[in-house]
Structure formats: C-alpha cells, structure tokens
C-alpha cells in the first residue's frame, strides 16, 4: 500500500493529498534548517543531563512532603543549565502555563508595585490574573497596578511609548513571546533581548519576565540567554515533549525563583517540599525528546501556513517568514470555517477522533472558544490541536503534533473538511 492509499483510508481525498504534496515540494530546504536547530538543542539538553549525572535513582517516586527528593532537585538543576539560569522551579504542582505565570507575577510583585506589558494586551487567561477583568485574588485586588504599551500597527515595539510608561513603581515587565489569540507576529529571541536591554536601560533594577509558552527550542537561544530575569512555561507544551502529564517551570535568577518557590508552597518552605508523585521519568524523558518533538510541530506549522496562504487565507506568520513559536494563526473569516477546520483536526486525532468539536464558554475566556484536541494528555497543546475564540477576525490557532507526519495529516484533514463544506475549492 502506498502513502496516497493510506491517506485515503484516513479520510483525505486524492485532490487534497496531491495539493499537499505539491506544497511540500518547496519546503524541503526549510525543513533541513529546522532539523539543524533541533540537533543543536538536542545537544544542549544532553549536555545538561550529563553534567548533572542523571541516573536511575532520579526516577524514584516520592510522596507526602517530598523532603530530600533528589530526582526533583536534580531536574531543576538540569532545567537551569538548559536555560542558562541561576535556578529553576519545575513542579507537577504547577498545573498549567497560566498558573506558572501567576506564581511568577504574584511572587515578585508587592502592593504598590506596577506591572508593565510593553507588547500590548496579555493572553486572555491573564486578564483575570492581572485584574483587567475583575476576579477574586487578582493582582489588582492585592494593590498591584497595571500599565500597557501597545505595539505599533506593524507589530513592532513602540519604544517611546514604553519609555513613557516606565516609572518609579514599575517593578516587573512581562513579555509574551507568542501571539496568543492575536494576529500579531510572535517575537524572536533577538527581538525580546533588544526589548529587555532597552527596558533595563531606562530602569536598571526592573525585572523582566518572558512568557515562553510555545517558544522553547524553536531557536538555538532562549530569552534567558539575553537578559530575562525569568522565563516561564508549561510542561504540557514544548518542554514536556508530549510525555509530561502536568507541570510548569520557572527558570531565572536565584532571587526570583526563590520567591516563586515560597509563593508556590509557603514562606519558609520554598523548594524543600513538593513530592514528585512518580512523574520524574516522564519529566526527564519528555525534556530529552522535546527538541525533536518541537521540530515536528514547527514543520506542521510551516506546512499549514503554506497550504492556506496559497488558497488566499491570511496567515501569521506567513509561509515564508521565520518562526519563533509553534503556533500558526489562519484567519478563516467565518465561524463556519473555524468549525470545519477544527472538525478536521479532531478527525485526525488518535484519541476521540469520532467527537465533533463545538464552541463553548471556556473558563478564563470572554467569548466562546472552539477547541479540537484528541490528545493523550488533556489540554496538551504540544499534541495536535487547534483552537480559537469565535469572534472577529475568526482566526484559528493550530499547533503541535508529536510527530511531523501527524501534523501533516491534521492539516490535510482540516482542508478536507473545508472542501467538503464548500468553503474551499481546489
């Protein structure tokens, strides 16, 4: 059986398959560049593991208080070395990316301080954390104010506006690397480094935190290599490699991470408590696999951009642009098209492929969201998934795929459903 016949069994018509193959012919050199980055990052992770003498004793489970958990403590040393930071906090007790960011923000901001976003509005779930939308236990409720400098129309930093927003109360600057539910470009590590240098030039003692979600291992450098005091992310995204079933990380200066540990557990306890609950093998092995998994997701994102851009849909980033995260935004123009796209992604899943995704009022969002994800781990967006809020401009955000071949199938199936719905003609 040839590949075309296999794709037909999976639900991809000959016309869609042949269109996809035609798109792929021009992408081979780009894929070789991605593989070179993955090879570099694989070496970086391996060096950190070898330096810290990872061995079988580090995979032992702990319960209760988790005192003297050497596997947990050594994993944090590995993360600190991978991200070239003084310290790291890597815990299953951090439930998601939003939780990790909340810990980092609330640990390093005190009443009377001000938080500044120099990259426009934050991701939806952080609005309640900050207090832009009212919520119990928000930073606003605890006396932390918020300021924002919007991006220029072309998606670049408005340095004069940022300078004007930095004041005596500005304690922490939060930089969201990925686009979130916006159609602005994601930022490169180099761009983030320039922004950090500028902000610290205006106020040398200001702390800079980078929301690194979806960006880990996409480039050979991380924001922590260029001056970030903290980089923060989720283990069910890039660095978990598809194996970590929960967790988050905060890598940064010793002072910042220590405060985060006190906020996560309790003052005086910090990193001394927090059992690993038998998750160490998946945390270590997931990190080890992460560079390769991320490379597959990147190939899928580039394939998606080229497939849809050639059909006239606006894509961010564009098919020929450099990549700085694994997310691909495709502006489809209607709720009907978003639903069809997500049906295709869902039908390509190994889990719940028979389920039909529908928009719903998801906690933390101010509009209905449609999500397609037949994942082994609930909410794991390093696995094949697509989602987006049902609102103008009706953009869907595609990401993940534990293998390039699965990401490819997902994109072909999304196109198949759009063709079947009469929205796209090949």
CATH number of the domain where residue 306 is located: 3.90.1150.60
Question: Mean per-residue pLDDT for 103-107?
Answer: 98
pTM for this predicted structure = 0.95
Same domain for 333 and 241: no
Give percent of the chain with pLDDT exceeding 70. 99
Q: What six digits make up the tokens of 293?
A: 């998994």
Q: pLDDT tier at 366 (50, 70, 90 boundaries)?
A: confident
Long-range Cβ contacts of 65-74 (<8 Å, 24+ apart): 65/273, 65/275, 66/273, 66/274, 66/275, 66/276, 67/272, 67/273, 69/274, 69/275, 69/276, 71/276, 71/280, 72/274, 72/275, 72/276, 72/280, 73/271
Q: Which of 235, 252, 277 finishes a domain?
A: 277
Q: Is 70 helix (H, G, I), strand (E, B) or coil?
A: helix
Q: Answer yes or no: is 150 within a domain.
A: yes
276-307: pLDDT as tens digits: 999 999 999 999 999 999 999 999 999 999 99
Q: What is the CATH number of the domain that holds 130?
A: 3.40.640.10
For residues 364 and 268, membership in a common domain is answered with: no
198, two tokens: 């500028």
Tell whether 259 and 395 lie within a shared domain.
Answer: no
Percentage of the chain beyond pLDDT 90 is: 95
The answer on 239 and 133 residing in a single domain is: yes
> Is 47 among the domain residues?
no
- Is 255 a member of any domain? yes
**Residue 142: inside a domain:** yes
Examine the domain organization and report whether 264 and 334 are in the same domain.
Answer: no
30-57 as b/e: b if 16+ CB within 10 A: bbeebeebbeebbebbeebbeebebeee
Q: How confident is the model at residue 217 (pLDDT cuts 50, 70, 90)?
A: very high
Tell whether 282 is covered by a domain. no
* Domain identity same for 130 and 221: yes
Tell whether 216 and 360 lie within a shared domain.
no
Q: Is the pLDDT of residue 364 over 70?
A: no
The whole domain housing 371 covers: 3-42+288-420
Report which secondary-structure segment, H or E, holds 217: none
Q: Please report the pLDDT score of residue 284 as a whole number.
A: 98
Same domain, 88 and 201: yes
Angle, helices 280-309 vs 14-24, to 10°: value is 100
> Lowest-confidence range among 28-32, 215-219, 271-275, 362-366?
362-366
In order of 29, 180, 217, 254, 295, the CA distances from 38 in angstroms are: 15, 24, 7, 28, 6
Residue 51 in any domain: the answer is no
The pLDDT of residue 183? 72
- CA 388 to CA 390: how far, in whole Å? 6
Q: What are phi and psi of 274, to 5 degrees?
A: 125, 90
Clarify whether residues 31 and 102 are in a common domain: no
Order of strands across the sheet with 248-252?
A: 87-91, 248-252, 230-234, 207-211, 170-176, 114-117, 145-148
Considering the domain architecture, whether residues 148 and 243 belong to the same structural domain is answered as yes
pLDDT for the residue numbered 179:
85
Check if the beta carbon of residue 242 is closer than 8 Å to that of residue 292. Answer: no
Given 249, 277, 305, the domain boundary residue is 277
Count the domains in the chain. Answer: 2
What pLDDT is stored for residue 200 in this prediction?
98
Average pLDDT estimate for 338-350: 97
Structural domain includes residue 117: yes
Domain end marker among 251, 277, 303: 277
CA angle, residues 29, 30, 31, in degrees to nearest 5? 90
Same domain, 239 and 334: no
The tokens describing 105, both together, are: 């923000």
Same domain, 235 and 294: no
Beta strands in 320-417 (DSSP E): 328-331, 369-372, 385-389, 395-399
In this structure, is residue 56 part of a structural domain? Answer: no
Give, to the nearest 10 degrees, the angle between helix 28-51 and helix 280-309.
160
Q: pLDDT, tens digit, for every residue of 246-265?
A: 999 999 999 999 999 999 99
Residue 13 preceded by cis peptide, ω within 30: no
In 156-279, where does DSSP find H-type helix?
159-165, 189-202, 254-264
Q: What is the spatial distance between Cα 110 and Cα 139, in angstroms, rounded to a whole number? A: 9
| Total length of the chain | 426
């Amino acid at each position: 059986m040839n590949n075309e016949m296999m794709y037909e069994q999976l639900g991809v018509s000959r016309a869609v398959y042949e269109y996809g193959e035609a798109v792929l012919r021009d992408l081979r050199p780009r894929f070789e560049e991605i593989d070179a980055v993955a090879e570099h990052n694989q070496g970086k992770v391996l060096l950190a593991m070898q330096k810290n003498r990872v061995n079988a004793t580090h995979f032992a489970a702990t319960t209760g208080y988790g005192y003297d958990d050497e596997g947990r403590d050594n994993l944090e040393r590995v993360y600190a070395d991978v991200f070239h930071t003084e310290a790291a906090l890597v815990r299953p007790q951090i439930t998601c990316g939003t939780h990790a960011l909340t810990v980092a923000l609330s640990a390093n901001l005190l009443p009377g301080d001000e938080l500044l976003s120099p990259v426009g509005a934050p991701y939806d779930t952080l609005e309640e954390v900050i207090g832009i939308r009212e919520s119990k236990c928000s930073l606003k409720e605890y006396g932390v104010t918020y300021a924002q400098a919007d991006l220029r129309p072309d998606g670049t930093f408005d340095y004069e506006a940022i300078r004007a927003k930095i004041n005596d109360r500005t304690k922490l600057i939060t930089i969201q690397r990925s686009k979130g539910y916006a159609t602005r470009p994601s930022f490169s590590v180099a761009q983030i480094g320039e922004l950090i240098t500028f902000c610290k030039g205006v106020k040398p003692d200001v702390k800079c935190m980078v929301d690194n979600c979806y960006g880990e291992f996409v480039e050979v450098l991380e924001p922590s290599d260029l001056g970030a005091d903290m980089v923060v992310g989720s283990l069910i995204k890039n660095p978990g490699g598809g194996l970590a079933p929960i967790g988050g990380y905060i890598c940064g200066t010793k002072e910042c991470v220590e405060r985060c540990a006190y906020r996560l557990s309790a003052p005086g306890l910090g990193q001394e408590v927090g059992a690993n609950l038998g998750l160490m093998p998946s945390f270590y092995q997931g990190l080890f696999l992460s560079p390769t998994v991320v490379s597959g997701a990147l190939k899928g994102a580039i394939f998606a951009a080229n497939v849809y851009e050639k059909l006239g849909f606006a894509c961010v980033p564009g098919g020929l642009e450099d990549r700085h995260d694994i997310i691909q935004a495709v502006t489809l123009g209607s709720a009907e098209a978003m639903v069809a796209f997500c049906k295709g992604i869902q039908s390509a899943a190994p889990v719940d492929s028979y389920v039909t995704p529908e928009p719903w009022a998801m906690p933390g969002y101010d509009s209905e969201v449609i999500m397609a994800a037949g994942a082994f781990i609930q909410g794991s967006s390093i696995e094949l998934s697509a989602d987006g809020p049902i609102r103008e401009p009706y953009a869907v955000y595609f990401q993940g795929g534990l293998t390039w071949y699965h990401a490819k199938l997902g994109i072909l199936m999304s196109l198949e459903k759009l063709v079947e719905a009469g929205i796209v003609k090949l």
